[in-house]
Amino acid sequence: MAMNMTSRVAALNPEVEQILKPFKLSREELMLVMRRMRKEMEMGLSRKGQKEASVRMLPTFVHYRPDGKEKGSFLALDLGGTNFRVLLVRFCPQTEGGMKHVNQSYSIPQEVMQGRGKQLFDHIVDCVAKFLSNQKITERLPLGFTFSFPCKQISLDQAILLNWTKGFSVPDCVGKDVVQLLREAIQRRQELDLEVVALANDTVGTMMSAAFQDPKCEIGLIVGTGTNACYMEQMKNIEKLDGDSGEMCINMEWGAFGQGEQHSLAEIVNEFDKLVDQQSLHPGKQIYEKMIGGKFLGAIVQNILLNLKEKGCIFRGIQTHTLEQENIIRTKFLSKIESDSGDLLHVKSILEELGLPCGIEDRVVVQAVCLAVSQRAAQLCGAGLAAVLERMRENRQMDLMKMTVGVEGSLYKLHPHFSQILKDTVKDLAAKCEVHFHLSEDSSAMGAALVAASTRAS
């Protein structure tokens, strides 16, 4: 379908085709991305290279993956996407699936996401108190905290925040131990009695949840608001850490790939990516994430449409001020626009909703723009994942490696083509890896409960 649409556009206007050209990556370009990712992984793990690497390769202190025998009840908090979530997770080996959970989402106002630390952590604890009271929970529960930002971990329950990403910016927390900040906020709410036992990145949580059901899972992948991956690395390859035996999960923080001195994505980044970066909350940072994550795809589309409008290729002769408003094209629109076929009636209704002209020519162009942007996102993500898989396969000296990837995130789950393009790219670039993608709901948060459970098992 994608090809037909693209050729319809070319038939309508070759200039559109020209503007979308930088989004059509060749196999060579994807292989270049894969090679560069591997190089940065190597640097990030080494003692000397770690300072220059854009991919930080953060040790998580998770040496263990679940075995399905976990027991007990845990609270899990999940901070990192658009909502804050609280879960009560009960592991019960006898029941189907091995666990039960209830959860509740709470919104985080923009002024809290970009305010002061005390306000943010008090808000979190406030939501936890509401949850406990709604669920009538009075027992003292151990708590696992899914915190989806880069942290330098010193242990499972000590995590120094390195910087904020996505839509968060709470400067007075940077350089502080976020577990401690949470404990202090709990103490301020005197009626609460909770024991924070572990912090985990969402990638780690997702890997742990998938591994709970499928022991072959050694990679966690997130493609939602942002993007990131983690995987199990042999200790002997983590040069920057002492100790040679066993393995540890590494939170790659691959969203930062392409930032800084290395310019690893210099040949791929185009004028629209640069604009989105400049307009973002953290300019110059998270370059790879800004080409893949759901928070940014709509902004890329919007910048392309504005450019097409200026060139007179779309929305001809009509004032379209709405197109200049910030964040007007949401990623969920992309999913809807790209699912459409025939007369593109969904595209029509979205354009109408946005107050934009919606003639058939405009609809076709808008759809082609969305397709090009999300296809590149899925391919770039696939090239990164292929780098991780190939590194693991070569380290294990296997001719063929079977691997399960635990995956979570709205883009992977809800977008009509993203997951398929990602899978096709991985199959092409890492042909010696047989990959199974394990998608599960709420897995990143439940995984923090599993990490918490691991502290009880040892």
Could you count the other beta carbons within 10 Å of the beta carbon of residue 402? 11
Nearer to ligand GLC, 6 or 286 (CB): 286
Report the distance separating Cα 292 and Cα 304, nearest Å: 16
Q: What residues are labeled active site?
A: 85, 148, 202
d(CA 237, CA 436): 25
Q: Which is nearer to ligand GLC, 344 or 382 (CB)?
A: 382
Min separation Cβ 122 and ligand GLC, Å: 23
* Residue with Cβ nearer ligand GLC (157 or 202): 202
Dist CA 352 CA 110 (whole Å): 27
Q: Could you tell me which residues are beta bridge partners of residue 159?
A: 153
How far CA 202 is from CA of 26, 114, 330, 370, in Å, comes to: 31, 21, 23, 27
Q: Are strands 401-408 and 433-439 parallel, antiparallel or unpaired?
A: parallel
Closest approach, Cβ 406 to ligand GLC, in A, equals 13
Q: Does 335 bind ligand GLC (CB under 6 A)?
A: no
- CB-nearer residue toward ligand GLC: 224 or 258: 224
Under DSSP, is residue 205 helix (H, G, I), strand (E, B) or coil? helix
Give me the least distance between CB of 199 and ligand GLC, in Å please.
11
Binding mask 227-256 for ligand GLC (x = CB under 6 A): xx------------------------x-x-
Residues 6+ apart with CB under 8 A from 417: 2, 338, 371, 374, 375, 378
At residue 405, the 3 state secondary structure works out as strand
> Is 149 a binder of ligand GLC (CB under 6 A)?
yes
Q: What is the rounded CA–CA span in Å between residue 289 and residue 281?
A: 13
Please report, as a single letter, which amino acid is at residue 413.
K
- Nearer to ligand GLC by Cβ, of 158 and 339: the residue is 158
**Is 237 strand, coil or helix?**
helix
230: DSSP letter: E
Contact between 80 and ligand GLC by CB under 6 A: the answer reads yes
CB of 298 to ligand GLC, least distance (A): 17
Amino acid at 36: R
Residue choice 13, 60, 153, 165 for contact with ligand GLC (CB under 6 A): 165
CB of 370 to ligand GLC, least distance (A): 22
Residue 88 or 207 with smaller CB distance to ligand GLC:
207
Contact (Cβ atoms closer than 8 angstroms) between residue 322 and residue 354: yes
> Is position 148 an interface residue for ligand GLC (rule: CB under 6 A)?
yes
Q: How many residues of this chain bind ligand GLC (CB under 6 A)?
A: 17
Nearer to ligand GLC, 59 or 224 (CB): 224
Query: Could you identify the residue written with the tokens 């995984």?
Result: 447
Mark the segment that binds ligand GLC (CB under 6 A) among 90-98, 114-122, 142-150, 153-161. Answer: 142-150
Q: Which is nearer to ligand GLC, 60 or 454 (CB)?
A: 60
- β-pair type (195-200, 158-161): unpaired
Q: Is 166 in the site for ligand GLC (CB under 6 A)?
A: yes
- What is the closest distance, in whole angstroms, from the C-beta atom of residue 135 to ligand GLC in the complex? 26
* C-alpha dist (Å) from residue 210 to 21, 59, 204, 445: 38, 20, 10, 12
Choose the binding region for ligand GLC from 15-23, 101-109, 148-156, 277-285 (rule: CB under 6 A).
148-156
SS3 140: coil
Site string for ligand GLC, 339-378 (x = CB under 6 A): ----------------------------------------
Among 295, 248, 262, 343, smallest CA distance to 53 is for: 262
Q: Is 56 in the site for ligand GLC (CB under 6 A)?
A: no
Give the nearest distance from C-beta 299 to ligand GLC in angstroms. Answer: 16
Minimum CB–partner distance for residue 417 and ligand GLC (Å)? 21
Closest approach of ligand GLC to the CB of residue 225, in Å: 6
Near ligand GLC in 270-299, by CB under 6 A: 289
DSSP notation for 86-125: EEEEEE-TTSTTSEEEEEEEEE--HHHHTS-HHHHHHHHH
Q: Does 59 bind ligand GLC (CB under 6 A)?
A: no
Closer to ligand GLC by Cβ: residue 227 or 425: 227
Interface with ligand GLC includes 442 (CB under 6 A)?
Answer: no
3-state secondary structure of 384: helix
Per-position b or e across 131-154, b if 16+ CB within 10 A of its CB: bbeeeeeeeebbbbbbbbbbbebe
- Over the window 191 to 230, marking each residue x when it contacts ligand GLC by CB under 6 A and - when it does not, the resulting string is ----------xxx------------------x-x-xxx--
Tokens 């934009």, residue located: 356
Per CB under 6 A, residues contacting ligand GLC are 80, 148-150, 165-166, 201-203, 222, 224, 226-228, 253, 255, 289
